[in-house]
Structure formats: structure tokens, C-alpha cells
Amino acid sequence: MTIFWISVIGSSFLAFATKLFGASVPESWLSHPRVQRINNLIPIALLSALVAVNSLAEKSKLIIDNRTAGIAAAVALLIAKAPFPIVVVGAAITSATLYRIF
């Protein structure tokens, strides 16, 4: 089995198990304020790391390239309150333009 299949099947299984777990456990298990706070912060920490690594890292090196310009465009569009599809397409166009020039 390839790394692709292992990650697809493993993550899908755990995602469903997580959903079913929440629907099945007694409320007192997860309603602690500390659990709620950590739960709200996890997406912020992980998504920030995913943005950084996917736009500034190449394997174990840090680099500035066409992707970095794409993400800078995305930031500008988000500040201008552009909707999600425009942000993604704007980043792609910026990155592709630089990729084709250099």
C-alpha cells in the first residue's frame, strides 16, 4: 500500500470514529471548559502551520518562491474581504504568472 492509500483510509476511518464518538458519549465527558477551549484553538494552530509550511517550505528547506507570492496575494484579498473562491483563484493566478515568467 502506498503512502497515499494509507493516509486516505487511515484519516477517513479516524474522522468517522471521531464523529460517532461525539454522538455517543455522555455529555459530561467533553463539556469541560478546558476541552472546549483547546478544541477551539487546535484548528487555528494547525491551519496556521499548514499555511506556513505549504507556502514557505520545500521538504526541509525554507524558500521564497512563486507560492509565497500567491499566499501574499491571498492575504491581500482576505484583507479586502474577498470571498473564499476569489482568494484561492487569486493566489493561483499570482503564483502561476510568476512560475511562467521565471
Partner 1 sequence: MSVKRDSFSVSFTVGLYGSAFGAAGIASHFSVLQTCLLSLLLFSGASQFAVVGVIGAGGSALSAIATSSLLGTRNALYGLRLAPLLKLKGLKKIAGAQITIDESTGVALSQNNESDQIKGFWYTGIGVYIFWNFFTLMGALGAKAMGNPSAWGLDAAVPAAFLGLLWPRLTNFKTRAIAIAATALSLALTPFLPAGVPIISCALLAIFFGWCK
The residues in 22-41 that bind partner 1, with binding defined as CB under 8 A, are: 22-25, 27, 29-31, 34-41
The Cβ of residue 97 has, within 10 Å, a number of other Cβ atoms equal to 14
| Vertex 6 angle, CA 23 and 35, to 5° | 35
Maximum C-alpha span of the chain: 58
Min dist CB 69 to partner 1, Å, is 8
Q: Write out the DSSP string of 29-65.
A: GT--HHHHHHHHHHHHHHHHHHHHHHHHEETTEE---
Contact status: 66 vs partner 1 (CB under 8 A) = yes
Contact status: 102 vs partner 1 (CB under 8 A) = no
Contact status: 12 vs partner 1 (CB under 8 A) = yes
Min dist CB 80 to partner 1, Å, is 12
Q: How many residues bind partner 1 (CB under 8 A)?
A: 76
Contact status: 80 vs partner 1 (CB under 8 A) = no
